[in-house]
Structure 1
Amino acid sequence: MKTYGRKDLPESAGVVILGGGLAGCAALLAAVEDGHDAILLEATRDIGGSTVLSSGLSAYAGTDEQAEQGITDSLDLLRDDILATGKGHCDPELVDLYVENSIDTYRWLKGHGVRYGHVHAASGQTVPRSHPTDTSRMLELLIEAAEPLGGRVFLGVRAERLIREDGRVTGVRIESARDTVVRAGAVVIATGGFSMNRDLLDRFAPGMAKAFTAGGAGNQGDGLLMGWDLGAGVIDTPWIRGTYGIYPSDHVGEHGTGIHAIYKGGIAVNAEARRFCDESLPYKVVGDHSLAQTDGITHQIFDQRVLDAADDEVAIFDFRGRLALGMLEQSDTLEGLAEKLGIDGETLAATVADYNRRVTAGEPDEFGRQYQAGGAGELFPLDTPPFYAHPSGTVVLATYCGLTVDTDMQVLDVFYEPIQGLYAAGEVIGGFHGAGYMTGTSIGKSGIFGRIAGQRAGAYAAGHTSGSDNADEGASA
C-alpha cells in the first residue's frame, strides 16, 4: 500500500476525497473503478480513522456466512430492524438505499479480498447479522486495488475550507503555511464525526458531559464545519449517544469499544448493586441509562457460562482478553465479587437471585427483558461460578449525525437543495440512524454509502471542469 505526502499533491483531480476511513477508501476505489481520476486526502499520518478502532462488525442480511451458520435473515427484516431502532427518526429513503445495496457491496468487498468471520447477534438485531472483519486489512485491500487504477492516498494533508465557484464546489484549500489549493471536479467529505472535539460535543450533546470520549484522532468535525460553512443542512444532533461497556480509565481509548457481556446473557448493575434497565436494548440506550446512575459508572455481571461464550475475534465479545488484561474482577461468590467492586454484597446476591428466579420460572422480567440482545438469544440463570464483573462507563466513540444528503450522497443545503459538486459518506452524514443505532450499520453504511458517493461524484466530475481561478470561500464556520 503506497501513500504520499503533501509535497506530492497534484494541482487538480477529478474527485478529491477527504478522509481515510472505510467511507473514504470505498469512495476512492469506486471512483477509479469507474474510470475517474481520484485522490484521497487524510489529515492524520495514518489510514483508518474510527474504522480501525471499531469492533469491525458490518450488518448485512442474506450472506454466505449466515447461511453456513443456519441463520435465516432477509432484506425486509434488516430494513424493519433499522427503522425500529431509529424510533421513527430515520430517513426511510436512506434506509432503503442501504438495504438495496447491502448485498452487492458485501460481494464487492469480498471480491476484493475482504473476509468475514463468525456472525453474532448484537444491538437492535432480531437475528444475528454482525459480520466481523479485520478493518485494517480491509482498508489496505481497497487501497491496493485502487492503486493500479490511478488512485492515490495522501497522508498528513488536512483540508480546511471548501472552494465554491458559480454555485458549485470546485476544490479544497489545504491547511498550510503557504496558499495551497487542489482543484476538483467534485469533492467527497468522509472525515468522520466529532467525538474528539469536546467543544462541539458540549454544543450539540450536553447530556454526554459524564461520558468518556474516544475515536480517530482526526474526528474533530472538520467535514461537518466545512459543509456547514457553505450552508449544508445538519441533522440528528439530538440523537448523539455514547456506547455502553467501555472500561473506565484515564486511557479509555486504548481498549477500543469495551465489551458487551450483557449481549451474551449477563446483566448490568449500578453502584447500589441493582439492575437499572433492560440489558438487551441497543447499547446506546443502555449507555443513557448508565449515565443516569451514580457517577455514570456501572458493572456488567456475568458467570462462567457467559465467559465461555467469548469470541476473541470480536472485540466486544473478547471477555478472556479482558480477563488476561486484569480488567475483570472475579470471585467464586457474588458477595466476594461485590466486595472487590465496592458495592453491597447482600444486595448484589439478591439482585442476581431475583433475576435467576424469573428466568427459570419464565416470569416477566422487572425491566421487560426477553432476549440476550435485541430479539435474539435465550436467557439463562447466572448461576455457574466463578462470577465476573466488568466496570463499565459510556463513551462517545462516534457521533452518527451530520450533513444532510440525498440518495446520490450529494450534500443538501438548509433548504434541502443540492450543493453542486459536494458529496459525503460515512459518519459525517446524518439522517440514516435516527434516534438509535443497530450494531454493524456504521461500518456497513461506510462501505455502502462510500461506494455510492465515489461513483456519483466521479460521474458528476466527468461532466464538469474545475472552474476558473476566481474562487470564493465561505465565511469561517
Structure 2
Amino acid sequence: MNSAVTAILEPLQVADAADLQWQAQCDVLVIGWGAAGACAALQARAEGADVLVADRFTGGGASARSGGVVYAGGGTRHQQAAGFDDSPEAMFDYLRHETQGVVSDETLWRFCRDSVANLQWLESHGVPFAHQMPPGGKTSYPPDGAFLYYSGNELVPAYTGQRAAAPRGHRTVGKGQCGAVLYSHLQAACLRAGVRPLPQSAARRLVLDGQGRVIGAELWRLPPGSQVACKHARLAARAERLQNFMPGYCERLRRRLSALEHKHARPWLVRAVHGVVLSTGGFIFNRELIKAHAPAFRRNFKVGATGCDGSGLRLGLSVGAASDRLQRVSAWRFINPPYSWHKGIVVNRAGERFCNEEVYGATLGQPLMEEQGGQAWLVLDAPLRKQALREALFGGYWWFQALPALVLMLLGARKGKSLQQLAQATGMGAQSLRQALLANNAAARGQAPDPFGKSAAGRQVLEQGPFYACDISVGNPIFPLGALTLGGLRVDEGSGAVVDCDGQAIGGLFAAGRTALGIPSHLYISGLSLADCVFSGRRAGAAVVHGARLNTDCEVGS
C-alpha cells in the first residue's frame, strides 16, 4: 500500500463492548468531517444524539477545496428570483438522463423532491446563496458576483428533455472558489450544535461485537496541541494550498504527514452506541486503488484533498461491505471558457471527431479518457482562434480559466496553413481531418444535421487558414486534465446503511458522500457531489439514530 495513505487494519472483534477499555463514548461516530460528515453530524445531533466527528486532519476535505456549488432545483427561491419556473419533475427528467440508473428512480425522485428543502436547510445553518447569473455564455465556473448558473448539460439539446431547462448550479456567496466558505459555515454549525470534534484522528479500523455489528472504531490520534500536531497541520495546509501548482512536491509532503502519524499517533478507542458513519470522500490520492480499478486515469491531475485516499471505502471493505462503480472516474476536460472554443471541433489522434464540444467538461472528458486513450486535439481556424484569444484576454474569466487557454493557444498549439499541413504537424490523418471539418461546416451552414447533436448556436464554419490544433490530451502539463473518483460502498438507498454482497445491512455502519455509491456515481456535473453530501449525509445521520431498517420500497444499490 502507498505509504502516503491511511493504513487500514483488520477489524477488532470482541464478544461484548464491555470487554474493551474505551477512551471515549458517543451515540454516533462520524469518520470524516467534510460536507457529508458535517451534514450527517448535524442531522444526528438534531435527532438528539451525542455525536463525535473524527478527521485525519482538521476538517474540510475536498468540500472545502471545491467551488462551493450545490446542485438544487425544483423551484428554489433563487431560481424564482432569477425568473425561472423550475419543478422537481423537470429536475428529475434531466438527472435521470445524467445518472443512467446509478440509483433507483425512487431515490432520484426523492433527491429532486427534497432539493428545495435541502438548500433551505443549508441556508438555515448559515450558508448563503443568491440569484445573480453570469453574463455571456457557458462557463465552467461563474465569475465573482454570479451565483446561479447552468452547471451541467441543461442547455445541450440532447440532454434538455421535454421540459424547459433551468439553471440549478447554486454557488455559495463569496469570493473565489467558495467551497471553503460553504464548509466554514457547516463546521461552525456543528460546533454550535454541540458536535464534539476529534481532529487529527485517523480511523484505522472498525470494532465489531460478537454479532458482527459495528460498535465503534480505533482512531490513531496525534497528541492534541502538541508541536507534532501543529507541524502536521502546517504540512497538511501547505499540501492542499500548493497541489494545483506543485503536485510532486505535495506528494512528498503527504509522505511526511504519514510518517508523522506513524511515529507519533496513538490508538484511541471510541465506542459508538448507535453506529458509525463513514464520510471520508473518494480515493483519487490512492495510487494502488486507482491502478487496480481505474488504471487509465493514473496520469490525470488529482481533484480532491489529501484525505481522499479511500480510507472510508477500505474500512467498509474490511468488514465485508460491497462496493460498486470503483472504475468510474470523472475526468474534467472543460473547453469553456473561452466561450467560443466549443465552436471548434475536438478530434482524436487520427483526426476523427468523436463528441459534441458544447457538453459539460466531464461529459467530454469521459469519452476522451475511456475511448480515445486520453489523446485529443481542439481544432480552430484563424478567425475562431482570434475570437477565443480576445475572450481569454478581455472576457473577465478567472485566471485559472484564461491563463491556460492563452498559453495553449499562443505557445502550445500546432499550426498549418492548410489542413494538410496541420495533419502533418500533428500526425493526424489528413483525410479524416478533412472529412471531420467538412461535416462540421455542412452542419454550420444548415445543410446537414450535426453528427453529434451540437446546437445551431454552437456551430461555426471553420475554413479560413491557418488552422490550429490545441493539445487537450491528459499528458499536457500546461492544460491539466483533472479527475476524481465516483464509486464507493453500496448502501441501502432508504437509510444509507452499508450493505454486504448479499444486500444485507451491516449493523451499525452507514456511509455518505463520495465514500458511498450515490447520485453522482455515474457521471459528474458541477454541484451534484455537494448536493449529494447534503442528501446522503442527512439520510445517514437520521437513520443511524433511529436504527437502520432496509426500505423494501427501494432498491439496494444498482
TM-score by length of 2: 0.67
Instruction: Report if aligned partners of 1:171, 1:187 keep a CA contact under 8 Å in 2.
Output: yes
1:163-183 Cα deviation digits (max 9, x unpaired): 122442221101355432011
Alignment of 1:297-308 (within 5 A): 297-300=375-378, 303=384, 308=391
Match for 1:370: what amino acid?
Answer: K
**In the alignment, structure 1 residue 82 sits paired with structure 2 residue 95:** yes
Paired residue secondary structure (2:112): helix
In the alignment, the residues of structure 2 paired with residue 90 and residue 416 of structure 1 have an alpha-carbon distance, to the nearest angstrom, of 14
Match of 2:288 in 1: 199
Structure 1 residue 362: deviation in Å? 5.7
Shift of the 259–196 alpha-carbon distance from structure 1 to 2, 3 Å rule, reads farther
Shift of the 216–454 alpha-carbon distance from structure 1 to 2, 3 Å rule, reads same
1:228-282 Cα deviation digits (max 9, x unpaired): 11121212234x13313179xxxxxxxxxx9796896554233455432233456
Structure 1 residue 453: deviation in Å? 1.8
Structure 1 residue 370: deviation in Å? 2.8
Paired residue secondary structure (1:29): helix
Match for 1:440: what amino acid?
Answer: G
1:343 to 414, 423, 426: 426
**In the alignment, structure 1 residue 161 sits paired with structure 2 residue 173:** no
**In the alignment, structure 1 residue 96 sits paired with structure 2 residue 109:** yes
Match of 1:115 in 2: 129
1:11-39 Cα deviation digits (max 9, x unpaired): 12222111122111212222223332212
Match of 1:151 in 2: 195
Match for 2:276: what amino acid?
Answer: V
Match for 2:127: what amino acid?
Answer: G
**In the alignment, structure 1 residue 427 sits paired with structure 2 residue 514:** yes
Match of 1:6 in 2: none
Match for 1:445: what amino acid?
Answer: D
Instruction: Report if aligned partners of 1:24, 1:450 keep a CA contact under 8 Å in 2.
Output: yes
In the alignment, the residues of structure 2 paired with residue 404 and residue 259 of structure 1 have an alpha-carbon distance, to the nearest angstrom, of 37
Instruction: Report if aligned partners of 1:159, 1:175 keep a CA contact under 8 Å in 2.
Output: yes
Shift of the 270–75 alpha-carbon distance from structure 1 to 2, 3 Å rule, reads same
Structure 1 residue 226: deviation in Å? 1.0
Match of 1:245 in 2: 333
1:130-185 Cα deviation digits (max 9, x unpaired): 22231111110011122122123332210011112244222110135543201112
Paired residue secondary structure (1:187): strand
**In the alignment, structure 1 residue 170 sits paired with structure 2 residue 215:** yes
Alignment of 1:403-418 (within 5 A): 403-418=490-505
In the alignment, the residues of structure 1 paired with residue 55 and residue 417 of structure 2 have an alpha-carbon distance, to the nearest angstrom, of 49
1:129 to 156, 159, 168: 168
Match of 2:63 in 1: 51
In the alignment, the residues of structure 1 paired with residue 485 and residue 497 of structure 2 have an alpha-carbon distance, to the nearest angstrom, of 22
Shift of the 22–388 alpha-carbon distance from structure 1 to 2, 3 Å rule, reads farther
1:199-254 Cα deviation digits (max 9, x unpaired): 1122222443554444211111111111111121212234x13313179xxxxxxx
Shift of the 149–89 alpha-carbon distance from structure 1 to 2, 3 Å rule, reads closer
Paired residue secondary structure (1:237): coil
Instruction: Report if aligned partners of 1:409, 1:452 keep a CA contact under 8 Å in 2.
Output: yes
> Structure 2 stretches of 5 or more lacking a match?
1-21, 131-146, 173-177, 222-264, 475-480, 549-558
Instruction: Report if aligned partners of 1:270, 1:293 keep a CA contact under 8 Å in 2.
Output: no
Moved more, 290-299 or 158-167: 290-299
Moved more, 86-95 or 156-165: 86-95
Shift of the 409–271 alpha-carbon distance from structure 1 to 2, 3 Å rule, reads same
> Structure 1 stretches of 5 or more lacking a match?
1-8, 248-257, 372-376, 462-477
Alignment of 1:302-341 (within 5 A): 303=384, 308=391, 312=397, 319-323=401-405, 326=407, 328-329=409-410, 335=416
Shift of the 10–336 alpha-carbon distance from structure 1 to 2, 3 Å rule, reads farther
Match of 1:469 in 2: none
Match of 1:365 in 2: 450
Moved more, 157-166 or 109-118: 109-118
In the alignment, the residues of structure 2 paired with residue 456 and residue 402 of structure 1 have an alpha-carbon distance, to the nearest angstrom, of 17
Instruction: Report if aligned partners of 2:321, 2:489 keep a CA contact under 8 Å in 1.
Output: no
Shift of the 362–433 alpha-carbon distance from structure 1 to 2, 3 Å rule, reads farther
Moved more, 352-361 or 60-69: 352-361
Match for 1:391: what amino acid?
Answer: I
* Larger RCO: 1 or 2 (CA < 8 Å, sep 6+): 1
- Larger-Rg structure: 2
Instruction: Report if aligned partners of 2:445, 2:461 keep a CA contact under 8 Å in 1.
Output: no
2:367 to 289, 300, 310: 289
TM-score by length of 1: 0.77
Match of 2:308 in 1: 219
Shift of the 190–387 alpha-carbon distance from structure 1 to 2, 3 Å rule, reads same
**Identity, % of aligned pairs?**
23
Shift of the 369–439 alpha-carbon distance from structure 1 to 2, 3 Å rule, reads farther
Equivalent pairs, count: 431
In the alignment, the residues of structure 1 paired with residue 368 and residue 519 of structure 2 have an alpha-carbon distance, to the nearest angstrom, of 25
Paired residue secondary structure (1:145): helix
Shift of the 167–85 alpha-carbon distance from structure 1 to 2, 3 Å rule, reads same
Structure 1 residue 352: deviation in Å? 5.1
Paired residue secondary structure (1:419): strand
Instruction: Report if aligned partners of 1:93, 1:407 keep a CA contact under 8 Å in 2.
Output: no
Instruction: Report if aligned partners of 1:193, 1:398 keep a CA contact under 8 Å in 2.
Output: yes
In the alignment, the residues of structure 1 paired with residue 127 and residue 49 of structure 2 have an alpha-carbon distance, to the nearest angstrom, of 22
Shift of the 79–343 alpha-carbon distance from structure 1 to 2, 3 Å rule, reads same
Moved more, 387-396 or 418-427: 387-396
Shift of the 141–209 alpha-carbon distance from structure 1 to 2, 3 Å rule, reads closer
Instruction: Report if aligned partners of 2:330, 2:524 keep a CA contact under 8 Å in 1.
Output: no
Instruction: Report if aligned partners of 1:335, 1:345 keep a CA contact under 8 Å in 2.
Output: no
Match for 2:149: what amino acid?
Answer: V
Shift of the 301–107 alpha-carbon distance from structure 1 to 2, 3 Å rule, reads farther
Paired residue secondary structure (1:50): helix
Structure 1 residue 105: deviation in Å? 0.6
Structure 1 residue 428: deviation in Å? 0.9
Paired residue secondary structure (2:205): strand
**In the alignment, structure 1 residue 391 sits paired with structure 2 residue 391:** no
Instruction: Report if aligned partners of 1:273, 1:343 keep a CA contact under 8 Å in 2.
Output: no
Instruction: Report if aligned partners of 1:212, 1:395 keep a CA contact under 8 Å in 2.
Output: yes
In the alignment, the residues of structure 2 paired with residue 409 and residue 424 of structure 1 have an alpha-carbon distance, to the nearest angstrom, of 6
User: What RMSD, in angstroms, separates the aligned Cα atoms of the two structures?
Assistant: 3.9
